[in-house]
Amino acid sequence: MTVTMPEKDVNLIVDKLDQVRLEILRLRAALTPEEEPTPQEKEAIEEARREISEGAATTLTELLKDLG
């Protein structure tokens, strides 16, 4: 079975998955405060915070609400 999707829909899905990945990294850092994040994780967390503050990303709660 083959499913065809417009490129804009694929890009939207990829963007949402990236946002979810960043949110998971943020949650992981918040839930394991005794574990010092790696420099790469710190950078990803800061990037996620910037994206959320700029409105370029969404929180997991908002995404779940949007997806119903």
Per-residue pLDDT at 46: 92
Burial of 8 (0-12, 13-18, 19+ CB in 10 A): exposed
Query: Along the 68 residues of the chain, how does pLDDT read in single tens digits?
Result: 788 889 898 889 988 999 999 999 888 888 876 778 899 999 998 998 888 888 887 778 888 888 87
pLDDT in tens, 17-29: 999 999 998 888 8
